Amino acid sequence: MPHPPTPDQAFPPAQRDAVYRAIFERRDMRHFAGGTVAPELMRRLLTAAHHAPSVGFMQPWRFLRVASPALRRGLHALVEQERVQTARALGEREEAFMRLKVEGLIDAAEVWVVALADGRERHVFGRRTLPQMDLASTACAIQNLWLAARAEGLGVGWVSLFDPAAVACLLGMPDGAEPIALLCIGPVHGFYEEPMLQQQRWASRCALDDVLFEDAWGQPLDPRDSAGGVDRAVHTRLRPAGARSAPDGGSAG
Amino acid sequence: MPHPPTPDQAFPPAQRDAVYRAIFERRDMRHFAGGTVAPELMRRLLTAAHHAPSVGFMQPWRFLRVASPALRRGLHALVEQERVQTARALGEREEAFMRLKVEGLIDAAEVWVVALADGRERHVFGRRTLPQMDLASTACAIQNLWLAARAEGLGVGWVSLFDPAAVACLLGMPDGAEPIALLCIGPVHGFYEEPMLQQQRWASRCALDDVLFEDAWGQPLDPRDSAGGVDRAVHTRLRPAGARSAPDGGSAG
């Protein structure tokens, strides 16, 4: 029999379900409703980000608030440049891409630039062979902020359509610092029922089993270890929004 | 006045607090209590991971379960090699590093290798100038799994002390696939009160304000935008474990 976790280490079911709800209802938002974010709420989101794991506890993340309207317009112009370049690079999907809304920089209540700090070469723990773990840690921080924002009723969109050197220059970043995200944060009219790129038929979620292997690349997970279809009642209760047939979210159209 | 989010988009307070609880009580675990993880629980964690955001919805993540004891020992040996190499590279902190427990590969109920899939060069959306966004997406998937595991009462540790080429070879990964994490997952005797590296005085959490800027690198956030000390009641209620003085977790010793 599986060894159950000690009961007092697991959250009560209602709390556990709330965590899954944030995970399944979080969306990468591009449509915002303007407005503002109260400073104390913004600080809760940043505190959540700051409590992410980081390799060797190096805390490589920096969050820069874009308060100046001119600066926001400058960032928007850089994203627009890259949007056109990306469209060209996509070839046959150029037109479909150009129809997508890929950012909410002008409409979002808040715009924050997330960057990796300079001086990261000092941190060797967990990075000697994988120096890019600083980016991984910072992505975890952004995910924390994203989930907290969903619970607070705010949308977040991560825009990565920009030339990092141009953004670094615009914001006066020192050598070694690297912008990795323009975050649009704020009230939304509603959250997408499913990922916007799936709604727009740009891509669809693959089946969970397609990304699972056992012991060797390409070898399917042993069905006894994957429990597909087992405990269906729990899956149904925790079912992600927009997933109508498959308990794991399946491959929706 | 700040524009409040539409009430029905925010979670009820108890659900919101549960999300923050998972964020603040999640720990990078190195001490595990053996046991097993029920397959249906493991699948819930993987489903949470699979619902992470991904750049251009590319879903670059792959999760490989290490079922074979021999393979687990092989991974452990690779980590041990890199631990010694990292210690040497740390110079004066070599001995302090060697005293730290940096992985739980033998004791954890489950070991999963997380990798970036091969063939990622096809995905240009959001990656023409920032190709590393595939890693960022996969880190978000791991953070989802990590938070879900905390809510389920299970510990997770992300080990990045390994030579990625050696791990790729051991698991038969194709050219272009890249392992980024060895995840130890399972029951624990207890969660650390604060990050283990802080308990062991390896590093401490910096003050939130040290990682926040406004409009230009190095320029402090306008106090009116940061709300430090504002809404202290909410901060106290949501205060991270181990944070005794500062509302944002401060710089603990």
Rounded to whole angstroms, how far apart are CA atoms B121 and B125? 10
Q: Which two tokens stand for residue B83?
A: 């631990």
Q: Are A205 and A249 a contacting pair, CB within 8 Å?
A: yes
pLDDT tens digits for range A169-208:
999 999 999 999 999 999 999 999 999 999 999 999 999 9
Closest residue to A57, CB basis, from B47, B97, B195 = B195
Mean pLDDT for A108-133 is 96
Place of tokens 């990798």: B115
Residue A234 confidence (pLDDT) above 60:
no
| Helix ranges, chain A (H) | 13-25, 39-50, 69-89, 94-99, 133-152, 164-170, 196-199, 223-226, 232-237
pLDDT tens digits for range A88-115:
999 999 999 999 999 999 999 999 999 9
Rounded to whole angstroms, how far apart are CA atoms B114 and B182? 6
Rounded (5°) CA angle A26-A27-A32 = 120
List Cα–Cα distances, A86 to A31, A73, A80, in angstroms.
Answer: 20, 20, 10
Q: Are B225 and A68 a contacting pair, CB within 8 Å?
A: no
Q: Is the CB of B72 inside 8 Å of chain A's CB atoms?
A: no
Confidence of residue A223 (pLDDT cuts 50, 70, 90): confident
Best probe of the B interface among A6, A78, A143, by most B CBs < 10 A, is A143
Residue B243's pLDDT is what?
41
Q: Residues near B6 by Cβ (< 8 Å), separated by ≥ 6?
A: A153, A187, A189
Closest residue to A9, CB basis, from B133, B191, B234 = B191
- Which residues in chain B are closer than 8 Å to A231, comparing Cβ atoms? 40
| Burial state string for A100-118 with b = 16 or more CB within 10 A and e = fewer than 16 | bebbbbebbbbbbbbbbbe
Q: Which residue of A has its CA nearest to B19?
A: A19
Shortest distance, CA B127 to any CA of chain A (angstroms): 7
Shortest distance, CA B77 to any CA of chain A (angstroms): 16
Shortest distance, CA B145 to any CA of chain A (angstroms): 9
- Which residues in chain A are closer than 8 Å to B205, comparing Cβ atoms? 50, 57, 59
Q: Is the CB of A188 inside 8 Å of chain B's CB atoms?
A: yes
Residue B122's pLDDT is what?
93
Shortest distance, CA A176 to any CA of chain B (angstroms): 12
Rounded to whole angstroms, how far apart are CA atoms B82 and A27? 38
Residue A249's pLDDT is what?
34
The reply to whether residue B86 touches residue A130, judged by beta carbons under 8 angstroms, is no
Question: Could you tell me the maximum CA-CA distance found in chain A, to the nearest angstrom?
Answer: 62
Shortest distance, CA A77 to any CA of chain B (angstroms): 16
Q: Which two tokens stand for residue A7?
A: 């009961």
Q: Is the CB of A13 inside 8 Å of chain B's CB atoms?
A: no
Q: Is the CB of B57 inside 8 Å of chain A's CB atoms?
A: yes
Q: 3-state class of B62 per DSSP? A: strand
Residue A227's pLDDT is what?
53
Closest residue to B136, CB basis, from A46, A139, A249 = A139
| Helix ranges, B59-132 (H) | 69-89, 94-99
Shortest distance, CA A190 to any CA of chain B (angstroms): 7
User: Is the four-CA dihedral A225, A231, A237, A241 of positive or negative sign?
Assistant: positive
Q: Is the CB of B206 inside 8 Å of chain A's CB atoms?
A: yes
ipTM: 0.89
Residue A224's pLDDT is what?
74
User: Does an H or E element contain B19, and which?
Assistant: helix B13-25
pLDDT tens digits for range A44-98:
999 999 999 999 999 999 999 999 999 999 999 999 999 999 999 999 999 999 9
- Which residues in chain A are closer than 8 Å to B218, comparing Cβ atoms? 172
Q: What is the pTM of this model?
A: 0.89
Question: Taking all residues of chain A, what is their mean pLDDT, rounded to a whole number?
Answer: 89
Q: 3-state class of A158 per DSSP? A: strand
Q: Are A101 and A79 a contacting pair, CB within 8 Å?
A: no
Q: Is the CB of A148 inside 8 Å of chain B's CB atoms?
A: yes
Q: Is the CB of A163 inside 8 Å of chain B's CB atoms?
A: yes
Closest residue to A171, CB basis, from B26, B41, B216 = B216
- Averaged in consecutive runs of 10 residues, what is the pLDDT profile of chain B (253 residues)? 62 98 98 97 98 97 98 98 96 94 97 98 95 98 98 98 98 98 97 95 96 98 64 44 38 32
Q: Which two tokens stand for residue A37?
A: 């974010």
